[in-house]
């Protein structure tokens, strides 16, 4: 196998074109020597992959209004609006939730995820609205991250999906990994994947659509969107995993993180918060015919 193809499988966070650039820059060696992107590997070859540390942009605090549902000395629960990016990334270094948090919290944010994602314990997509938790210190971050890892952190979403369901509830237990055909997409796959489990229940039925409550047992990238598409019920308005002739007026997926529950990192007390469905969500529901 060519070295660039092999590395694109082994280092799935990097695109093949990026890996080819790193090969040209000498950031990859095979058996101690720099090689070209077309170099053919043989059994027993030792690959050293040492990409340079990315240059971190200077992330600035911004006075952006936040819908804070709860706050204390250890954490915040924020109701993120649709359209807001959670943390800076190429092409989005301002106007993000992190920029707003840096202004509101000053230096009181955990540093575990680095300067790009201070305080961010878990994420939701740009066009997904709803609740997420932010850690103000490393102690809280570690405690909360452990709960997510051990599946004791409760996360429920409301979603409008295409089609109707025979049963009132169900489980999607299917591993998710990066798509081999499009590195920007995720998919259900057995290769280079991680286990993913979503539970869903029918809340209300409409002509051609169903309102679901989805509980995450794991938290993979785009998990609900990928799982719903996988079982033939893509999220309404999803421009990536939905039908090509999707609902353009929604301007993104009809998905809302409506409930989170966790044990407070300091005293262990269980806390639970809910967020009402936003206007874009309820407005779309009003256009649907109940059955």
Angle CA 190–240–123, to nearest 5? 75
Annotated catalytic residue 125:
yes
Where do we find the tokens 């169903």? 210
Which tokens hold the place of 31? 């058996």
Which of 125, 138, 267, 279 is an active site residue?
125
Buried b (16+ CB within 10 A) or exposed e, 251-289: ebbbbbbbbbebbebeeeeeeeeebebeebbeebbeebe
| Interacting residues of 193 by C-beta distance below 8 A, sequence separation 6+ | 175, 176, 177
**Which ranges constitute the DSSP H helices of 64-159?**
97-105, 138-149
Parallel, antiparallel, or unpaired for β 47-49 and 28-30?
antiparallel
133: left (phi over 0), alpha (psi -120 to 50) or beta: beta
Between helix 16-24 and helix 3-10 the angle, nearest 10°, is 120
Please name the helix (run of DSSP H) or strand (run of DSSP E) that holds residue 282, with its range, or none: helix 279-286
Angle CA 262–195–142, to nearest 5? 35
Please name the helix (run of DSSP H) or strand (run of DSSP E) that holds residue 242, with its range, or none: none
Residues acting as catalytic residues: 125
């Amino acid at each position: 196998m060519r070295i660039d193809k092999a590395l694109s499988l082994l280092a799935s966070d990097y695109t093949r074109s990026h890996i080819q650039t790193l090969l040209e820059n000498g950031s990859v060696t095979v058996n101690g020597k720099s090689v070209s992107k077309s170099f053919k590997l043989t059994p027993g070859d030792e690959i050293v992959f040492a990409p340079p540390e990315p240059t971190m942009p200077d992330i600035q605090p911004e006075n952006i209004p936040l819908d804070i549902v709860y706050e204390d000395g250890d954490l915040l629960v924020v109701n993120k609006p649709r359209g807001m990016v959670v943390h800076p990334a190429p092409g989005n270094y301002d106007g993000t939730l992190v920029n707003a948090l840096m202004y509101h919290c000053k230096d009181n944010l955990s540093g575990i995820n680095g300067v790009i994602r201070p305080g961010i314990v878990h994420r939701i997509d740009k066009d997904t609205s709803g609740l997420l938790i932010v850690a103000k210190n490393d102690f809280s971050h570690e405690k909360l991250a452990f709960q997510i890892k051990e599946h004791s952190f409760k996360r429920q979403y409301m979603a409008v999906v295409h089609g109707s369901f025979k049963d009132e509830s169900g489980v999607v237990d299917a591993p998710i990994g990066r798509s081999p055909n499009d590195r920007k997409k995720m998919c259900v796959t057995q290769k280079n994947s991680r286990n993913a489990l979503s539970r869903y229940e029918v809340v209300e039925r409409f002509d051609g659509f169903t309102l679901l409550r989805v509980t995450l047992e794991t938290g993979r990238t785009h998990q609900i969107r990928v799982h719903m598409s996988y079982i033939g019920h893509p999220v309404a308005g999803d421009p990536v995993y939905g039908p090509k002739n999707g609902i353009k007026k929604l301007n993104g997926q009809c998905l809302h993180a409506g409930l989170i529950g966790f044990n407070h990192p300091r005293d262990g007390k269980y806390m639970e918060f809910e967020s009402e469905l936003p206007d874009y969500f309820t407005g779309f529901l009003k256009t649907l015919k109940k059955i």
